[in-house]
Amino acid sequence: KAGVTQTPRYLIKTRGQQVTLSCSPISGHRSVSWYQQTPGQGLQFLFEYFSETQRNKGNFPGRFSGRQFSNSRSEMNVSTLELGDSALYLCASSLVLGAEAFFGQGTRLTVV
Amino acid sequence: DQQVKQNSPSLSVQEGRISILNCDYTNSMFDYFLWYKKYPAEGPTFLISISSIKDKNEDGRFTVFLNKSAKHLSLHIVPSQPGDSAVYFCAASGVYNQGGKLIFGQGTELSVKP
């Protein structure tokens, strides 16, 4: 069974640009969550989707947004990139809300 | 306000001995706890979980203990192996009021020496 797949693995963007990250969950999993990992703040929850609906949102500015498609695949978008957005962005999928979450390899975003 | 805390940033253990990683939480609404192992530049790997209705859960070399009155959980790895060297994160969720949102501790870097 394939795991959670995130694309791209690495990305370099310039301040002010926008970026879209993609996540394909484990087959059959309907819940997708996104996390940001930085050295200073650790792993922080961004948002969670279930059945194409955002169920939960973390404490991040509106520049961070996401969506989920009918096949459970998810994308997150960050607009007007800032240097502080440089981080490892992790996607996790679970069968249903609240079940064990399985993480992808992450997308390393560097903003210059 | 850090709701999940791992107070030891690092831990060093000899191969074959027990590793004990600790985690404290403050939110009494948490009812599900998980441990993840993480290597640099990779996603966390799920290890073991425990529901708040239990006080112990075992899976092979890994055992998680939950003390609700103390709001404390611990992960025991017996016997420790060099391949266990990684950063370990505990995470908590309040399934009934927060869905699948996980609150992570800051992590403990475990080093198992041969």
- Tokens at A58, concatenated: 């973390």
User: How many whole angstroms separate alpha carbon A51 and alpha carbon A42?
Assistant: 28
Identify the CA nearest to A97 among candidates A75, A76, A72. Answer: A72
* Inter-chain residue contact A100 with B103, CB threshold 8 Å: no
* Residue-level pLDDT at B96: 67
Asked if A42 lies within 8 A of B100 by C-beta distance, the reply is no
Residues of A in contact with B107 (CB under 8 A): 42
d(CA B40, CA B44): 9
Residues of A in contact with B105 (CB under 8 A): 42
- pLDDT for A17 equals 98
Task: Check B44 against A103: CB less than 8 A apart.
Answer: yes
pLDDT-based confidence at residue B100 (cuts at 50, 70, 90): confident
Chain A, chain B: beta-carbon pairs less than 8 Å apart:
69
**Sign (positive or negative) of CA dihedral B92, B94, B95, B97:** negative
A43 at B interface, C-beta within 8 A? yes
Best residue of A45, A47, A90 to probe chain B, by most B CBs closer than 10 Å: A45
User: Could you report the per-residue pLDDT of B20-71, keeping only the tens digit for each?
Assistant: 999 999 988 899 999 999 998 789 999 999 999 999 999 999 999 999 999 9
Q: Which residues of B touch A97 (CB under 8 A)?
A: 95, 99-100
* pLDDT at residue B3 in the model: 92
pLDDT of residue B1: 67
User: Which 3 state secondary structure label does DSSP give A47?
Assistant: strand
Nearest CB among A4, A97, A103 relative to B100 is that of A97
Tens of each residue's pLDDT in chain A, 112 residues:
679 999 999 999 999 999 999 999 999 999 999 999 998 788 999 999 999 999 989 999 999 999 999 999 999 999 999 999 999 999 999 987 767 899 999 999 999 9
Q: What is the pLDDT of residue B101?
A: 87
